[in-house]
Amino acid sequence: MHVIGPNGSGKSTLLAAMSGLQECAGEVLLQGSRVSDMSLSELASKRGYLAQQARPAFAINVHHFLSLSIPATAPAEAVSPAIAQICQRLKIADKLQRSVNQLSGGEWQRVRLAGLCIQIWPSLNPYSQLLILDEPAAPLDIGQESMLYDLIQEIASMGISIVMANHDLNRALRHASRVLLLQQGVSQGFGSPDVVMQPELLSKVYETKVERVDLEGRPYLFFG
């Protein structure tokens, strides 16, 4: 599911509440259990959460940073192959000995994504159910963004549900199974992209002209 809406519409607040790290007035249930009743270790075993970009308060190398994400119950023989596979997919295998403070914004985001994948990777954590991403592509270039969406598709194929906030409406239109459109904390629509992402509704919520066209069988939105 993709959560979309203008800046300040409540996307990050919603995802933080879904993650169990922010109190909310209602209830958030994960497999019938309230996330507010779960300990941090229980939450970590069942869901991964990537907040918007933030650097660690202390300098450690990438390898050490990633090791902090290894589930305590991960089979020892599965750890190295999984980490190698994830680092190769995100193209950070050559950065393992670098300090996190020496990474560019895009490199650091890929390292953060690698840590999150290690946390929820099924061969390391069979209890993982949900991946929550707050604008994960924001610091990435177009090639890295394409790699990210391929990785998200792979994780979804493993049976893990994905909820992400997204400013790229064209990506949401083509990749999301469900879309939640927010405006000032209020839902303006929820359902399939074709139902929710209508130009008239998007024009109203984003306060700009939106048009939709199909090119070579793929839908595109144009703005302004």
- Mean pLDDT score, 47-64: 88
Distance CA 66, CA 87 (A): 10
Question: What is the share, in percent, of the chain residues with pLDDT greater than 70?
Answer: 100
Query: pLDDT digit string (tens) for 186-214?
Result: 999 999 999 999 999 999 999 999 999 98
Would you tell me the crossing angle of helices 142-157 and 105-120 to the nearest 10 degrees?
0
Q: Hey, what amino acid is at 113?
A: L
The pair of three-digit structure tokens given for residue 85, joined into one six-digit string: 């596979």
**Is residue 124 pLDDT above 80, yes or no?**
yes
CA distances from 159 to 7, 8, 121 (A): 31, 31, 11
- Mean pLDDT score, 91-111: 94
Q: Which of 137, 155, 153 is nearest to 145 (CA)?
A: 137
In the chain the domains, ranked by start, together with CATH numbers, are 2-223 (3.40.50.300)
**Residue 218: per-residue pLDDT:** 87
Going by pLDDT thresholds of 50, 70 and 90, the confidence category of residue 33 is confident
The pair of three-digit structure tokens given for residue 187, joined into one six-digit string: 């839902």
The pair of three-digit structure tokens given for residue 123, joined into one six-digit string: 């061969």
Hunting for tokens 């895009």 — which residue is that?
Answer: 106
Task: Name the phi and psi angles at 154, rounded to 5.
Answer: -65, -45
Hunting for tokens 């800046």 — which residue is that?
Answer: 7
In DSSP terms, 134 is beta-bridged to 165
- Rounded mean pLDDT of the chain? 93
Give me the torsion for CA of 110, 111, 112, 113, rounded to 10°.
50
Query: pLDDT digit string (tens) for 57-93?
Result: 788 999 999 999 999 999 999 999 999 999 999 999 9
DSSP, res 71? -
Q: Which of 28, 154, 36, 148 is nearest to 92 (CA)?
A: 148
Distance CA 43, CA 40 (A): 5
Task: Report helix, strand or coil for 25.
Answer: coil
**Is residue 53 pLDDT above 80, yes or no?**
no
Interior CA angle at 178 toward 132 and 44, to 5°?
A: 15
Distance CA 110, CA 80 (A): 18
